[in-house]
Structure 1
Amino acid sequence: MKLNPMLRLIAGMMFLISLALTHYVNQNWLWFSVFIAANLIQSAFTNSCPMITLLKKLGVKE
C-alpha cells in the first residue's frame, strides 16, 4: 500500500478506535478524537504530518 492511502487508513482507524473507547470506556477519550481532527487540520495547512514522517522511516513507498 502506498503512503497516502496508508495515512488515510490509519487516521480512519484511529478515529473509529477513539469513538469506541469513548462509548465503551470513558467519555474523556473524546479528546483523542479532537486530537486526531486537529492534527489532520494542521497538516492540511502546514503540509507537515508526523505520521507521514514515521511511515517514510518505516519504508512505505510514496
Structure 2
Amino acid sequence: MNLDRAVLLLAGTMILLSALLASLVSPWWLLLTTFVGLNLVQSSITGFCPAALVFRRLGVSSGCAFR
C-alpha cells in the first residue's frame, strides 16, 4: 500500500466511523466528519497533509500525490 491509498483509507474510515457514531450515539460526532472534510480541502489546496507525514514516518512508501 502506498501513501496515497493509506491517506484515503484513513479519511474514508474516519468519515464512516463518524457517521455511524452520529447515528448511534450523538449527532456531535458529525464534527469529526466536518474536521476530516476540512482537512481534505486544506490538503488539496496547500499540499500539506498531517496524516501523510505520520504515514511517511511509519515507513509507508510514497505515492504520486504526496511527495
* TM-score interval (norm. to shorter): over 0.9
Q: TM-score scaled by structure 1?
A: 0.97
Deviation per CA, 1:12-34, whole angstroms, max 9, x where unpaired? 01100000010001010011100
**Could you say what the CA RMSD is over the residues aligned between the two structures, in angstroms?**
0.5
Structure 2's unaligned 5+ residue stretches are 63-67
Which contiguous aligned blocks of 4+ residues in structure 1 show a shift greater than 4 angstroms? none
Deviation per CA, 1:4-49, whole angstroms, max 9, x where unpaired? 0111111101100000010001010011100000000000001000
Aligned residues: 62
Aligned to 1:26: 26
Q: TM-score scaled by structure 2?
A: 0.90
More helix by share: 1
For the residue of structure 1 that corresponds to 2:60, the secondary structure is coil
- Report whether the alignment pairs 1:43 with 2:40: no
